[in-house]
Amino acid sequence: TGCGYNGPMDQVTLGGITEIALGPDGNIYFADVSNALIARVERSGLVSVIAGGRRCLAYETPNCGRGGPAIDAGFTNIWDMDIGPDGSIYIVDYGSLRRIGPDGRITTVMERRLPGESNIDDWGNGGPALEARIQPNTAAVGPDGSVYVLASVGKEFNGTRQLLPSVFRIDGAGNISRIGGLQTPHTAIEVPDGTPIAEANLSPTNIMVSPTGELYILHAIGSVLYRLDSAGILHQVAGYSFTGCIELCNVEGQPATKLRLTRLVDMKFGPDGSIYLLNLARLYRILPNGTFTIVAGTGFSGFGGDGGPPREAQFIAHSVAILPDGSLMLADGGNGRLRQITSLFNRTSFVPSPARAAAEAELFFQSRDGREIYVFDLTGRHLRTHNARTGAVTLTFGYDNAQRLITLTNYDGKVTTIERDGSGAPTAIVGPFGQRTQLALNGDGYLAAITNPAGATHRMTYHNSDGLLATFTDPNGNRSQLSYTDLGYLRTDEFATGGSWQLDQLVSAAGYSVTLTSALGRTTTFAVNNQSGGGTRTATFPNGASNQVQKRPDGTYETTYADGTVMTSRFDTDPRADRSAPMLREVTVRLPTGQQTRTTVDREQLVDNIFEPLSPVNWLTTTTTINDAT
């Protein structure tokens, strides 16, 4: 059953992890195709096999342990997995659909059929799923327990038997029906937004179901993602056909309909309605407003980036799960790892101490310098700030019944108060000794004026209800003006003193550049070029001189200055901040004359309990060595 299974998570040697999902019990479940098993990761950190662990021959697949305990069953080749609202686990195993019920027993929902057995006119439409003559390859479970599968049905075409990729639904009674799919072989075309699925020549390659029960379908032509509403109408959500994007394609911050979806292997919903899209080497997020952002990955397959920014990591992931604390878990099957994307300090969702388990409503973030710990609740409200060394509270935030900030209390009990009117709008900030700063909002709720305790007022205006700052006027009447591109990026900043900056952005497949032009016509250009395992950042100044920072695949940084000086830096994780803050571990500076210095830094600390973010530091030692002198 694999090396280390049924033990602590850090002692398990994982095989090919192809699927991962969060169960309604808060535990993580994953499929290890190499070891032919389904495992559960409990919040205590224990990993246990719940099904399989032995491999069945192809002809045995539907009946390998059928009707008995899942732990005694075997699998042939796990293609897909999803979990229902009652905790049932649905597994597509080499063309059969199997179910592990809450009682721990495994049953067969759909038998494996050869593709040639099905016929568009006689495959079992409306009858029991167990008797359907189709072979499922993907499954997704809805909030009502309905199961959607991707499969193909056959059709005679020009004297040969062809397959029509289709979407099917298994209802609560176990009967299956065809929802839609390819109508005629080899005729999949672009599907316009608003097309009824009954009329769409759709070639589905992946599916998922939203928490509200809406089906999302990925269409092979152009890799376009559609949402199917309750009336049977398809609405384009993300991706574009080969002719569907003219400009600003694949630019972060654009509508997701300008994002090219390639090698898409998994889709999941976040608790806020966001959609996460995984394409082996990069994870995207579609925000509720329809725009997209990059969450993790360089876009180049490989392995690297542990402990660093998620967007600089490399992986070969096949599935993603969104955990209750907001962190993400990747099934990095290409590297035999489960990898977590989180900003939490000294804490994972699976190895909490008893004290942490009792306070799961609080999240801990470390400052980049390792000196402070910020405590938030699950809604994102900042509750407290602690001294990282002593654990003492240095700042406490108070909220009213509507969860609006009303007080800030420092380490010695002095209180700053935010006054609000009957609607909850802030009207003043009152300091611990009565200093009063008046606030005034405009009709859209943005700050229009702020008057300090001395009576001096700064005023602001905005372009629209989106809150883009248009003018800023100081107490002496000096006014600065700002303008933006259609996407909301800063375009110009005209100073009250007469100077100005103009920003011009150029986006390419390899990266982007921003040129900053002064009122005198002097230009400074900042360019980013992404490469496999690293990339370069270049700043070119008005006199033509430039500095360049190159990140190498091994994680080191090489900075070349305009005068020829080269600095090579290597970072590590600061022990005070676990993986949330970088620490300079080694730096070598080589002058144009050939002279060189090498500095190394080592830091150690001892705390009472490494799993407690607020555990006091008993001692902290930082050792700096310069050219072998400590």
Q: How confident is the model at residue 574 (pLDDT cuts 50, 70, 90)?
A: low
Residue 146 has pLDDT above 80, yes or no: yes
Which is nearest to 488 in space by CA: 252, 250, 284, 287? 252
Residue type, 610: I
Question: Which residues have CB under 8 Å from 23's CB, separation 6+?
Answer: 29, 40, 83, 87, 89
Question: Which residues have CB under 8 Å from 625's CB, separation 6+?
Answer: 599, 600, 601, 602
Q: How confident is the model at residue 118 (pLDDT cuts 50, 70, 90)?
A: low
Question: Which residues have CB under 8 Å from 160's CB, separation 6+?
Answer: none
Q: Which of 93-102, 333-342, 364-373, 546-555 has the lowest mean pLDDT?
A: 364-373
Strand partners, 340: 329
Q: What is the pLDDT of residue 46?
A: 85
The radius of gyration of the chain from alpha carbons, rounded to an integer in Å, stands at 29
Residue 349 has pLDDT above 50, yes or no: no
The DSSP string of 509-521 is TTEEEEEEEETTS
| SS3 assignment for 79-118 | EEEEECCCCCEEEEECCEEEEECCCCEEEEEECCCCHHHC
Question: Which residues have CB under 8 Å from 454's CB, separation 6+?
Answer: none
**Interatomic CA distance for residues 292 and 250, integer angstroms:** 9
Which is nearest to 42 in space by CA: 54, 25, 58? 25
Dihedrals φ, ψ of 310, to 5°? -55, -35
**Average confidence score pLDDT of the chain:** 86
User: Does 617 or 183 have the greater pLDDT score?
Assistant: 183
Q: How confident is the model at residue 38 (pLDDT cuts 50, 70, 90)?
A: very high
Helix (H/G/I), strand (E/B), else coil: 394:
strand
Q: What is the pLDDT of residue 243?
A: 61
pLDDT digit string (tens) for 267-320? 999 888 899 999 888 999 999 889 999 999 988 888 888 877 788 888 999 999
Report CA dihedral (576, 579, 580, 583) to the nearest 10 degrees. Answer: 60
**Percent of the chain at pLDDT exceeding 90:** 51
Q: Which of 283-292, 294-303, 465-474, 491-500 has the lowest mean pLDDT?
A: 294-303
**Interatomic CA distance for residues 162 and 156, integer angstroms:** 6
Structural contact between residues 121 and 134, judged by C-beta atoms closer than 8 angstroms? no
Range(s) of the chain covered by CATH 2.40.10.500: 263-342
Structural contact between residues 405 and 424, judged by C-beta atoms closer than 8 angstroms? no
User: Does 465 or 447 have the greater pLDDT score?
Assistant: 447
Which is nearest to 28 in space by CA: 50, 4, 3? 50
Strand partners, 17: 32
**Percent of the chain at pLDDT exceeding 70:** 88
Residue 355 has pLDDT above 70, yes or no: no
Specify the CATH architecture of the domain 263-342.
Beta Barrel (2.40)
